[in-house]
């Protein structure tokens, strides 16, 4: 069996007293697209910089395709491509010169694909980097990574500064990469992007992994929203097991259900339901239910409300 694309074992990093990452265990199997979510300062970038060997772990270790990120850095890097959230490039080089230089350093470039990417991202490679906008620099560094067709793509907020059209082009590229069997680790704040692309989602918080699973698994952990309109009166559902967050507006009931929905259905069946809607939580709702309340508290202070 081949080694996983990414494997982290008890990976930890402290900066002075700050525990940026505390004992992360993570696996990204070959061919998988794993999304990584978390509020600012959760440790996503620290994790990625540890995987790239730019930081030295305080504890634990990590492997890329079975290659140790510290001792076999160069061999590991032959098999990956990385896109940072902020492109720091040489201001005096033109786009074409930057691509050629970075391609040479990587050692392997699919030139046909490169031309296709430049076309797709609508990139002017004759301009000096100094004269490019933030979004265009980001496009340049995206093309530099994708053109290598590396087996593993590590992307740290890769679409920051891109317009919706380019964002669409990016998604297309990632889906193609998946079809070709490339693996992807995608850290992003754009939840729709993660939801649309990723097979599995890891949620980080304060330097620790709090959830890891497919969308279906994560949904299972969260509540289902049920909306029902009644012919006459809204029954009292407060005592039904698993039901919470009850809101009543006229003849309409809104509530959330955790676990089995059967007890609620049984009750509603005898209460004259006119309309019944239920929907699974979106990733955004999942994310907010994980972070919403504590975040509000942290930013506004406990004495507000």
Nearest by Cα to 194 from 27, 36, 29, 38 = 36
Closest distance of CB 295 from another protein, Å: 11
Q: How far is the CB of 3 from another protein (least distance, A)?
A: 18
Residue from the set 66, 122, 126, 259 that interacts with another protein by CB under 8 A: 126
β-pairing, 67-68 with 80-83?
Answer: unpaired
Binding-site member from 29, 30, 97, 227 for another protein (CB under 8 A)? 97
How far apart are alpha carbons 180 and 7 in whole angstroms? 21
**Binder among 78, 171, 251, 258 for another protein (CB under 8 A):** 78
Q: Are 85 and 160 in contact (CB under 8 A)?
A: yes
Q: Give 94 or 183: the residue with its C-beta nearer to another protein.
A: 94
Q: Which of residues 35-54 bind another protein (CB under 8 A)?
A: 49, 52-54
Alpha carbon distance 109, 89 (integer Å):
19
Sort strands 273-279 and 243-249 into parallel, antiparallel or unpaired. Answer: unpaired
Q: Looking at 61-69, 124-132, 177-185, 260-268, which segment touches another protein (CB under 8 A)? A: 124-132
Q: How far apart are CA 198 and CA 184, in angstroms?
A: 9
Kind of pairing between the strands at 33-37 and 200-205? parallel
**67: Cβ contacts below 8 Å, ≥ 6 apart:** 75, 76, 79
Q: Is 299 in the site for another protein (CB under 8 A)?
A: yes
Q: How far apart are CA 103 and CA 159, in angstroms?
A: 21
The binder of another protein chosen from 3, 96, 210, 248 (CB under 8 A) = 96
Examine residue 104 and tell whether it contacts another protein (CB under 8 A): yes
Q: Give the sign of the dihedral formed by CA 35, CA 39, CA 40, CA 41.
A: negative
Q: How far is the CB of 155 from another protein (least distance, A)?
A: 12
Position 251 contacts another protein (CB under 8 A): no
Residues in region 262-281 near another protein by CB under 8 A: none
| Cβ proximity to another protein, 79 vs 219, nearer residue | 79
Number of residues interacting with another protein: please give it, by CB under 8 A. 41
Residues 258/302, Cβ–Cβ less than 8 Å = no
CA–CA distance, 281 with 266 (Å, rounded to integer): 22
In the bound state with another protein, the residue whose beta carbon lies nearer, of 4 and 84, is: 84
Considering the complex, state which of residue 104 and residue 244 has its C-beta at the smaller distance from another protein.
104
**Backbone Cα Rg of the chain:** 23
Q: Are 64 and 6 in contact (CB under 8 A)?
A: yes
x/- binding map, residues 168-207, to another protein, per CB under 8 A? --------------------------------------x-
Residue with Cβ nearer another protein (105 or 269):
105
- Piece of 110-118, 126-134, 227-235, 277-285 that binds another protein (CB under 8 A): 126-134
Sites of contact with another protein (CB under 8 A): 17-18, 49, 52-56, 73-75, 77-78, 82, 84, 86, 88-94, 96-97, 100-102, 104-107, 126-128, 130-131, 206, 298-299, 301
């Amino acid at each position: 069996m081949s080694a996983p694309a990414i494997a982290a074992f008890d990976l930890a990093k402290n900066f002075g007293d700050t525990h940026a990452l505390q004992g992360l265990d993570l696996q990204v199997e070959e061919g998988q697209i794993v999304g990584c979510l978390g509020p600012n300062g959760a440790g996503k970038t620290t994790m990625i910089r540890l995987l790239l060997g730019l930081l030295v772990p305080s504890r634990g270790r990590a492997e890329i395709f079975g290659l140790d990120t510290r001792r076999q850095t160069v061999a590991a890097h032959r098999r990956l491509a990385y896109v940072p959230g902020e492109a720091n490039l040489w201001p005096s080089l033109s786009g074409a010169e930057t691509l050629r230089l970075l391609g040479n350093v990587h050692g392997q470039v699919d030139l046909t694909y490169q031309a296709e990417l430049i076309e797709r991202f609508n990139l002017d490679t004759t301009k000096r980097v100094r004269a490019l906008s933030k979004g265009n620099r980001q496009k340049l560094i995206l093309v530099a990574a994708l053109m290598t067709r590396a087996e593993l793509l590590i992307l740290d907020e890769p679409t920051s500064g891109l317009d919706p059209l380019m964002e669409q082009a990016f998604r297309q590229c990632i889906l193609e990469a998946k079809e070709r069997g490339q693996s992807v680790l995608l850290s992003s704040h754009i939840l729709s992007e993660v939801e649309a692309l990723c097979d599995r989602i890891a949620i980080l918080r304060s330097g620790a992994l709090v959830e890891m699973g497919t969308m279906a698994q994560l949904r299972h952990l969260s509540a289902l929203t049920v909306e029902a309109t009644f012919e006459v009166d809204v029954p009292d559902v407060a005592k039904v097991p698993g039901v919470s967050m009850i809101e009543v507006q006229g003849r309409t009931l809104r509530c959330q259900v955790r676990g089995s929905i059967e007890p609620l259905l049984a009750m509603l069946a005898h209460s004259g339901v006119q309309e019944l809607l239920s929907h699974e939580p979106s990733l955004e709702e999942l994310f907010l239910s994980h972070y919403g309340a504590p975040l509000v508290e942290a930013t506004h202070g406990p004495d507000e409300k």
